[in-house]
Chain A
Amino acid sequence: MGMAAADSQFHVLAVDDSIIDRKLIERLLKTSSYQVTTVDSGSKALEFLGLHEDDTTNPNPPSVSPNNHHEVEVNLVITDYCMPGMTGYDLLKKIKESSSLKNIPVVIMSSENVPSRISRCLEEGAEEFFLKPVRLSDLNKLRPHMMKTKLKDQNPKQEKLEKQEKLEIQQEKADFNSPKEQEQEEQQHHQEQQLQQQQQQSSNSNKRKALEEGLSPERTRPRYNDIATVAL
């Protein structure tokens, strides 16, 4: 398939106080071929990630792996928003404030569609915001975020590979954007997703259309020329 280490398993840490939702997210993630660990609270999540609650800075910056204290690497954290004690937002903040953990992508799930909540989370650095119940199609959005961190650890020589890998992954989606604009579009996309789930607003399709129209004409697919095989 890919040229980089795309076949190695990604490990997702799922955090939810509801036993039903933990079972559901675990099944969803396993069906998507991820390794899963589930915990029922933010504090247990931090414990698993090797961060004590009162640690705000790590005096020993990690060399390669973001998780100094654990053998197991976590490639993404997906957490419920509403939890007793530490909320998903609190957990997100703690992760982003930690020098050892801040590069781990975090996704928030919530049963409530509260725009201010969504933007607050995105502003704090959450990659995505999923409305519950979460579906398999939502999880398709996770891989690119995990790919980013995985390849970050590798040497600069593989930067070209990284770009190609990223492009290949984006191709799985229907959209054809250049990587720079993909990022931008993803930001908009999950905001759109929330609105679309509630009401079918034409403004969303306009937004999308506007974005697509704004793309440069040279969004060709150089990789078709560059690589000998396109294994799909």
Chain B
Amino acid sequence: MDRNRLQHQVACMRRSLFDQGYLDEQFIQLEELQDDANPNFVQEIVTLFYTDSARLIQSIEQALNSRPIDFSKLDDYMHQFKGSSSSIGAKKVTSECTVFREYCRAENAEGCIRSFQQVKQEYAILRRKLEVYFQMVRQAAVAHTA
């Protein structure tokens, strides 16, 4: 496909990620740190985010399944998750983490379980969208101008 067309698609998708609230200003900060010497910085840090999130999600699930629930441990995991999602500009994921932490502090197990579903859902949606987005970015980068 024509490079210009692909780039246009990339721009549109990028715009919608912001408009729909999946990403915030912090993502732009990451883009600004990218240059010719570090052309894949955003993709690299987002990939780190996936790996780290997978680890945290697993830990949180384990913690939620144990009895009694260790709320302080849960809060600690979620603090980490919130931190990293905020660092990459994952707006919706970050706010779901905030909700979770509130239930955690209230030691509300049901609330935690429910809101964790929300966290996982938002994370999965964002991950899918970003994977599509970066695939398009890569395609546009190697495409020829017609």
A residues within 8 Å of B by Cβ? 18-21, 23-24, 27-28, 31, 82, 111, 132-133, 135-136
Closest approach, in angstroms, between the C-beta of A32 and any C-beta of chain B?
Answer: 10
What residue in chain B is nearest A28 (Cβ atoms)? B33
B9 lies within 8 A of chain A by Cβ? no
Closest approach, in angstroms, between the C-beta of B41 and any C-beta of chain A?
Answer: 6
Q: Are the C-beta atoms of A111 and B83 separated by less than 8 Å?
A: yes
Question: Which residues on B sit within 8 Å (CB–CB) of A132?
Answer: 83, 86-87
Q: Are the C-beta atoms of B45 and A18 separated by less than 8 Å?
A: no
A132 to B44, CA, bound (A): 20
19 residue pairs bridging A and B, Cβ less than 8 Å apart? A18-B83, A18-B84, A18-B87, A19-B48, A19-B52, A20-B45, A20-B83, A21-B84, A23-B45, A27-B33, A27-B41, A27-B45, A28-B33, A31-B33, A111-B83, A111-B86, A133-B87, A135-B29, A136-B29
Closest approach, in angstroms, between the C-beta of B25 and any C-beta of chain A?
Answer: 9
Which residue from B30, B45, B82, B88 sits with its C-beta under 8 Å from A111? B82
17 additional A-B pairs beyond A18-B52, A20-B49, beta carbons within 8 Å, are A18-B80, A18-B84, A19-B52, A20-B45, A20-B83, A20-B88, A21-B83, A23-B45, A24-B45, A24-B87, A27-B33, A27-B45, A28-B33, A31-B35, A132-B87, A135-B29, A136-B33
A132-B87, A133-B87 are known contacts. Are A20 and B52 too (CB-CB below 8 A)?
yes
A111-B82, A111-B83, A136-B29 are known contacts. Are A20 and B41 too (CB-CB below 8 A)?
no
Question: Which residues on A sit within 8 Å (CB–CB) of B87?
Answer: 18, 20-21, 24, 132-133
B36 lies within 8 A of chain A by Cβ? no
Which of B29, B32, B82 has most chain A Cβ within 10 Å?
B29
Question: Which residues on B sit within 8 Å (CB–CB) of A21?
Answer: 83-84, 87
Q: Are the C-beta atoms of A23 and B80 separated by less than 8 Å?
A: no
B residues within 8 Å of A by Cβ? 26, 29-30, 32-33, 35, 38, 41, 44-45, 48-49, 52, 79-80, 82-84, 86-88
Question: Which residues on B sit within 8 Å (CB–CB) of A133?
Answer: 26, 29, 86-87
A21 to B48, CA, bound (A): 10
What residue in chain B is nearest A30 (Cβ atoms)? B38
A101 to B29, CA, bound (A): 33
Closest approach, in angstroms, between the C-beta of B51 and any C-beta of chain A?
Answer: 8
Question: Which residues on A sit within 8 Å (CB–CB) of B52?
Answer: 18-20
What residue in chain B is nearest A22 (Cβ atoms)? B48
Closest approach, in angstroms, between the C-beta of A133 and any C-beta of chain B?
Answer: 5
10 A-B pairs closest in CB distance: A20-B84, A133-B87, A27-B33, A111-B83, A133-B26, A20-B87, A20-B48, A23-B45, A24-B87, A21-B87
Closest approach, in angstroms, between the C-beta of B102 and any C-beta of chain A?
Answer: 14
A18 to B79, CA, bound (A): 11
A131 to B127, CA, bound (A): 26
Q: Are the C-beta atoms of A23 and B44 separated by less than 8 Å?
A: yes
